[in-house]
Copies of this chain bind each other. A is one copy, B any other.
Amino acid sequence: MTFAQRLAEAQQRFGPICVGADPHESILRDWGLEASPAGLASFCDILIEAFAGQVASTKPQVAFFERYGSAGMAQLERYMQAMREAGTLVIADAKRGDIGSTMAGYAAAWLGDGPLAADAVTLSPYLGVDSLRPAFELAKDNDRGVFVLAVTSNPEGSQVQGSGQPAIAAHIVDELGRWNRELWPGMTGSVGAVIGATAEARLASWGVDIDVLCGTVLAPGVGAQGAKVDQALRVGGANVTCIPLSRAILQAGPRISDMRQVWHVWSFAKDGA
């Protein structure tokens, strides 16, 4: 099964909410944990106990592991392996992007079978969508996925993304759709786009037609950043749309039942939470 199929199936069962694993210092402190690799280990253990096999997907934010160096990355590996073994899809939020053999190196790291193997990885397209080709092709070969930054909701994002005619963001979504049609003809592709859940107005004013993607969408910005679930689903259009939720869940921790409760409310909020 392709990544897009696995994501769609998992979300049918568990809903679209993806558990964001963002161990920033303030969360570690609130949970009574050290800002250290040992603190990360406890943080991961708690999330694994709370959610492994119980949710469609989880999105670890790589920066918060990388800041502790290789010891932090070792905790990330352990977290990703435990979640994947339990059947929960892992989307590594790494925002990598480079060219040529270097890009192939990143693709091998996250979409290969090494210790950092994830189900999908986020990518950044400043070097051009086609520079990410090694990741698209490895995703195809290994039934994994990618999510490429397209329209983000941070105010500074429009400087780059909204520039040009057509806007860069529209161009990027078009190109990603082209890759999906080429690699997964006649089906939902596993090349996805990152579209901020609060970016509906930007999509319209920049002429972004998200339905040409024929793939998957990752729509951050729900919860602490102000967006509702129905907004996120709208920016995802006809694509398989995955909605990361981090702070709202983690702030309910470290008690497992409280975090599960928050996840449940958001995941099955038919009224848009």
Inside 8 A of A100's CB, which chain B residues have their CB?
154
A98 at the interface (CB under 8 A from B): yes
User: In the complex, are the beta carbons of B63 and A106 less than 8 A apart?
Assistant: yes
- Among residues 74 to 118 in chain A, which have CB atoms less than 8 Å away from a CB atom of chain B? 74, 76-77, 93, 95-103, 105-106, 108-109, 112, 114-116
Is A245 an interface position by the 8 A CB rule?
A: no
Residues of B with C-beta under 8 A to A74: 69-70
Neighbouring B residues of A157 by C-beta, 8 Å? 99, 126-128, 131
Please state if B102 and A63 are interface contacts (CB–CB under 8 Å): yes
Instruction: Check B73 against A115 for contact (C-beta < 8 Å).
Output: no
- Interface residue range, chain A: 35 or more
**Residues A157-176 near B (CB distance < 8 A):** 157-161, 163-164, 168, 171-172, 175
In the complex, the count of this chain's copies comes to: 2
In angstroms, how far is the closest chain B Cβ from the Cβ of A111?
Answer: 10
A127 lies within 8 A of B102 (CB): no
Does A248 touch B at the CB level, under 8 Å? no
| Minimal Cβ-Cβ distance residue in B for A225 | B100
Residues of chain B contacted by A116 (CB below 8 angstroms):
66, 69-70
Contacts of A76 in B (CB 8 A): 70
Q: Are A106 and B154 in contact (CB under 8 A)?
A: no
Of all A-B residue pairs in the complex, the 8 with the closest CB atoms, nearest first, are A128-B156, A69-B115, A163-B164, A63-B105, A70-B74, A70-B73, A130-B156, A67-B109
Residue positions of A touching B, CB distance < 8 A: 22, 24, 61, 63-64, 66-71, 73-74, 76-77, 93, 95-103, 105-106, 108-109, 112, 114-116, 124-131, 149, 152, 154-161, 163-164, 168, 171-172, 175
Contacts beyond the supplied A67-B105, A68-B109: 7 A-B pairs with Cβ under 8 Å: A69-B116, A70-B71, A70-B116, A125-B160, A126-B161, A129-B156, A164-B168
